[in-house]
Chains A and B, each alone.
Chain A
């Protein structure tokens, strides 16, 4: 049931991604930058907030008039800033919720990822609290409504002896002190939120907290246009002796208030409290599968740091060797150490390890860092087996990942397929190995570009092949024999077409010369793959 729900949600995102990729390209697809955009909108909220605070009067009597001044007298700057403040907040909540949904549907919250997920929950609560106090501050009819209903909601809890709603009985019962406390809350919470946001991404290597320039400019311009076309305005001034009647609610932040009228206060507490608790517990709910984490092999780890910089979850660091690990030819060098609680078992470290070479006898294939349950010897054996199976006129070996197209869906007579936990776990030397041992071409696939399940796997593969990141694919490998097509689980038709066209292009190449050339240059370029 849950799986079906998740799968449908995931498919919906993949469909939306396809459209966005067609419009923006994978580098700018806004759906790939949902958390990032939440960061960006937060910056806009902060900057515009600081500006409008200069004009804001923190007393009950003058708060409303000071906001009116901004909107009507200085509409061209303070008014625009006020509108930007409101709309960027709405955009932030939208992108944040989509970011949460995307993480949930694509199953990126279990295991070591619990940390980002769990720190996200208080952030979610805080974002709503900040938005709600913001509407309160305007002290118009909407602010009055929010103030009274919030306090009535809080008073429902049996812990509070003196009803806080009594602060809002008459226009004289609300004090400046109380109002200033609210202002401090509205200013203090964002600072705490900022701290949490930074904490939220601390366990992610190369976390994308700044969007590509194009997206940043586009979104800012869009919000500016909205601010000019539909400036944020207030309701009438608050008056505690009369009821708010019709309200233009900001549904992004205030949707729970109509629920308070429809349901009981207790039911709304159950929804909010229960919802937050349920969300917080999600990473620990079944099905629980924690795969074994990466293991370092001291004799083959040269302390080159490549796995450290490639690990998407900052799970590896370099340490001094201890007596137990100071053996082999690298005994004098530092050694990689895996922090178990952070490892997501993606195997990208094996792909980045220059010691991961298949050019040895099967029993001797080894690497500096490896996944115990799907190790490099298994990959070596699978590659050999797959190569042996290739009997068609063109022989193509496809390396894919467990999160892209299911390999059985692209079965063809001319291709053999191997699935890895992440395509980033493929050491580039395996491409050379396959080409030397019978393959006419190597085809690499995995999650769509920009949407790697393990965040960075397909980026690293691209860069290794394009000689932008170590370990490089040997320059001698003819680029027309290696093809990449990043495809989501739903893209099997496109993938089949791409593989077919790759086979076709290989048929047009003279086979022998290429392998000979590759071999001839091997010796001269082997140094490049070493850190």
Chain B
């Protein structure tokens, strides 16, 4: 009887470690098929100021207390940023991103994953960072090749005012 108990316990522990051992790695999960690739559109871009600075009128200045009489009124609010991505002529992403911050004076954050099959594509990227712009302030047109499993990070360099590809 006691021997049966010991056998039972051995079997119990065996099942226990089989359960733990199996589910600690299995079943395997396919996050992305091997032939898959991905574009990540990711940057923080500050839109231009929504309204330009303007000089206060004399009346406006007079209405202000002495120590607050500065010459210009510069609203801090920035324009939303509008981004478009077309691949082989098809629009795959389009978004108007509001500036962050309570006064909407901070950059517009963008982080977008666009899964694609590996291969060659014709890319068109457009970005507008002022509400009054017709068309795009910045644009890219060109071919790209995505290797299997490759992640292509598309950013924006504000100094060179162009899109970056990493």
Contacts and interface: CB of A to CB of B under 8 A. Distances in A.
Interface string B139-166: 0000000000111010100000000001
Assign chain B's interface to a size class. 35 or more
B8 interface: yes
A272 to B, nearest CB: 19
Contacts of A24: 5, 8-9, 12
A245 B30 contact: yes
Interface string A61-96: 000000000000000000000000011001100100
Contact of B21 (A30, A165, A230, A249): A230
B79 to A, nearest CB: 17
A326 to B, nearest CB: 57
B32 A163 contact: no
Interface stretch (B36-44, B53-61, B62-70, B80-88): B36-44
A230 B18 CA distance: 10
A22 B23 contact: no
A382 interface: no
Contacts of B8: 22-24
A242 B151 contact: yes
Interface string B1-41: 00001001100111011011101111011111110111010
Contacts of B14: 222
B63 to A, nearest CB: 35
B20 A226 contact: yes
B101 interface: yes
A32 B13 CA distance: 16
A162 B109 contact: yes
A166 to B, nearest CB: 6
A169 interface: yes
Nearest to A252: B23
B96 interface: no
A249 B28 contact: yes
Nearest to A161: B100
Interface residues of A, number: 47
Interface string B84-104: 000000000000000011000
A170 B24 contact: no
Contact of A243 (B16, B28, B38, B100): B38
Contacts of A226: 17, 20-21
B107 to A, nearest CB: 8
Contacts of B13: 218-219, 221-222
Nearest to B5: A23
Given A145-B31, A162-B44, A250-B25, A242 B17 contact: no
A482 B8 CA distance: 33
A402 interface: no
A90 B23 contact: yes
A240 B24 contact: no
Contacts of B17: 87, 222-223, 225-226
A251 B23 contact: yes
Contacts of B29: 246-249, 257-258
A155 interface: yes
Nearest to A170: B166
Given A245-B30, A246-B34, 7 more contacts: A24-B12, A87-B20, A90-B24, A240-B151, A242-B151, A252-B23, A258-B29
20 contacts: A23-B5, A87-B17, A87-B20, A87-B24, A152-B111, A161-B100, A162-B100, A166-B44, A170-B166, A221-B13, A225-B17, A242-B149, A243-B32, A243-B37, A245-B33, A245-B36, A246-B30, A249-B28, A249-B29, A252-B24
Interface of A: 20, 22-25, 30, 86-87, 90-91, 94, 145, 152, 155, 161-163, 165-166, 169-170, 218-219, 221-223, 225-226, 229-230, 232, 240-252, 257-258, 261
